[in-house]
Amino acid sequence: MSTKTPERDTTADKPGFRLGQTEVVAVVLLVILLSQRWLLPLLDHDLFNTWGTIFVAIVVQSAPFLLGGVLLSAVISTFLSEKALSRIVPKRPALGVPVAGLAGIGLPGCECAAVPVTNSLIRRGVTPAVALTFLLAAPAVNPAVLVSTAVAFPGQPMMVLARFLASLITAVGVGWIMLARGKLLLERLTDLGRDEHAHERSFLGNVSHDFLHASGFLVLGAMLAAAVNTFVPRSVVNTVAGQAVLGIATLALFAFIVALCSESDAFVAASFTAFSDTARLVFLVVGPAMDIKLASMEAGQFGMGFALRFVPLVIITAVASAVGVGWWLL
């Protein structure tokens, strides 16, 4: 009796084409090269100069915080063991979520820095929902952000308290929602975030790996944010300021699109004097939690499928939290 060995399916072994960061950059450079005849006359246009100024400002403002986050991420990936993490983070994820939210107070940094740190925490074995809570809390509840808010809103301590509470509620709320409803998505996130070679690489190797990966999506988000800031007239925004619901929706959308750093967005919010305090609070809560720059970086770090579900969840939770806290305190 002869046994026939089943043929091995080699379909899964065939390398498929994947449009990654390198391919995107190559395509963009090729398009620019082929269309330079039409692009060169635009370089002297005032709108292009404005776009370039805003784009450079966003990148220059964000890059130091991104580098700081990458350095911290490399420390976690290189030196922090699962055993040490198990002592810091509660074993029960439901308790780990609020702990991660409060941990954001002690780790000041911009939202750009939180993305690579979160990815590194997941690689080192932290429950994804707990790591995502830190991602949302760290840029919004740290002392640097609260101090800048106090300076931007002098004589309005309730605005500072409202921002802290609404941002913390957003972070913890999303973390608990992901634990309760996002099981399949979190499992996929764990697979995407896992990097088997992270602990094998040197400190500088991890810095180079994370910075090159995240910086491309930072630049992409900055390009989009600069375009909206340049080509959307401010008069369109001002016309809706007097309408409560439309004003809240407008500043939530504006916070998502302009992609400001959380340490400086309070000064922009303070300038929206035509809007209600609650609408301005929505701007302050939505921006650090989710903007166009963060969405593109998260899509690059964790996958487009994850981002398409996570981004709307964060925005809806942030708006609801800010409106509720604003109605209560402001």
228-239, pLDDT tens digit by residue?
A: 667 777 777 677
Q: How many structural domains compose the chain?
A: 1
Query: Is 15 within a domain?
Result: no
Residue 14, in any domain of the structure = no
Say how many C-beta atoms besides its own lie within 10 A of residue 13's C-beta: 7
pLDDT at residue 197, rounded to an integer: 47
For range 110-127, the mean pLDDT: 73
DSSP letters along 185-211, please? HHHHHHHHH--TTTTTS-HHHHHHHHH
| pLDDT tens-digit series, residues 291-302 | 887 888 778 777
Q: Is the pLDDT of residue 314 over 70?
A: yes
- 8-12, 59-63, 74-78, 138-142: which range is least confident on average? 8-12
Query: In this model, does residue 9 exceed pLDDT 50?
Result: no
Q: Is 40 inside a domain boundary?
A: no
Res. 227: pLDDT tops 70: yes
Mean of per-residue pLDDT scores for the chain = 75
CA-closest candidate to residue 301, choices 161, 171, 160, 121:
121
The pLDDT score that the predictor gives to residue 13 is: 46
Helices (H) and strands (E) in the chain, counts: 17, 0
Q: Is the pLDDT of residue 144 over 60?
A: yes
Residue 241 structural domain: 46-329
* Average pLDDT estimate for 182-201: 54
Tokens of 85: 């993490």
Nearest alpha carbon to residue 85 among 136, 49, 134? 134
The residue with greater pLDDT, 124 or 166, is: 166
Comparing 125 with 244, the larger pLDDT belongs to: 244
Question: CB 11: neighbour CB atoms within 10 A?
Answer: 7
Q: What is the pLDDT of residue 277?
A: 93
Average pLDDT, integer, range 154-160: 93
In a domain, 212, yes or no: yes
Residue 254 confidence (pLDDT) above 80: yes
The answer to whether position 28 is within a domain reads: no
| pLDDT reported for residue 107 | 63
Which one has a higher pLDDT value, 147 or 78?
147
Q: pTM of the full predicted structure?
A: 0.69
Residue spans of beta strands (DSSP E) within the chain = none
Q: Could you tell me which of 124, 302, 329 has the C-alpha nearest to residue 206? A: 124
Q: Do the domain assignments include residue 19?
A: no
Over residues 92-114, mean pLDDT: 76
The stretch 86-93 carries a mean pLDDT of 72
Question: Considering the domain boundaries, does residue 190 fall inside one?
Answer: yes
Is the residue at 30 inside a domain? no
Q: Residues 155, 85: contact at Cβ < 8 Å?
A: no
Q: Does residue 201 have a pLDDT over 70?
A: no
Mean pLDDT of 44-56: 76
- Asked if the model's pLDDT at residue 168 lies above 80, the reply is yes
Calculate mean pLDDT across residues 54-60.
Answer: 76
Mean pLDDT for 59-80 is 65
pLDDT of residue 170 exceeding 70, the answer is: yes
Of the two residues 183 and 306, the one the predictor is more confident about is: 306
Closest CA to 291 of 207, 228, 210, 216: 228
